[in-house]
Amino acid sequence: MARTGRRPGESGSRGAILAAARESFAEQGYDGATIRRIAGMAGVDPALVHHYFGSKDGLFVAAMELPVDLGTVLPQLLDGGLDGVGERLLRFYLGALELPATRTPMLAVLRSAVRNERAAALLRGFVGREVIGRLAARIDRPEPALRATLVGSQLIGLALARYVIGIEPMASADTETIVRAVSPTLQRYLTGELPGDLLPG
């Protein structure tokens, strides 16, 4: 059968642009990536990238959004109540890092933020709004935003140590081992009594 030559629909082009952007940000970093090259990789006109995402900043923020919708997933993780929320959050996070389709964009964003201040500022805004904000709104404890960032610091460090730097024996430990060792940390950050009772700042 002859190929029809039909162009991919809007969602196909958008997805192809995002996939190319993630690959490009991961390889060239925020500075090195260009809309022209990303458009070329996705097989679309650069004007279409501008149409969908406005600018390189807009494209970078969109590339941070994982194939899962945090606006849906985070409430689901929290709906089970605060008991065991540390473990549920960690299992979801490690699950996403074990799958190449989600690991690649997650690590690409992290790498970009580490090497470029502009990308760090965009990640800061995104995490503050989409993750810390949503989490903090559901934590009925003093200092919810600081608690959420403490969780973030452990999760970022885990991704770096296990998947980027690859420090042994953590890199090849099985997921269940990591879950059992780290869940209590996240649970304590989210709902435990933090020492000193009232935290300043």
List residues binding a copy of itself (CB under 8 A).
29, 110-111, 113-115, 120, 123-124, 127-128, 132, 145-146, 149-150, 152-158, 160-162, 164-170, 172-174, 176-177, 180-185, 188-189, 194-196, 199-201
84's tokens = 């065991």
Q: DSSP for 137-158?
A: HH--SSSHHHHHHHHHHHHHHH
**Residue located via tokens 């074990």:** 98
> Is the Cβ of residue 13 or residue 183 nearer to a copy of itself in the bound state?
183
CA distance 46 to 35: 6
Cβ 1 to a copy of itself, closest distance in Å? Answer: 43
Name the minimum Å distance from CB 122 to a copy of itself: 10
Residue 132 in 3-state DSSP?
helix
For the bound state, the minimum distance from the C-beta of residue 155 to a copy of itself, rounded and expressed in Å, comes to 7
Nearer to a copy of itself, 68 or 146 (CB): 146
* Complex with a copy of itself: residue 48 or 170, whichever CB lies closer: 170
CB of 45 to a copy of itself, least distance (A): 31
> DSSP per residue over 63-101, as a string?
HHS-SS-HHHHHHHHHHT-STTHHHHHHHHHHHHHHSHH
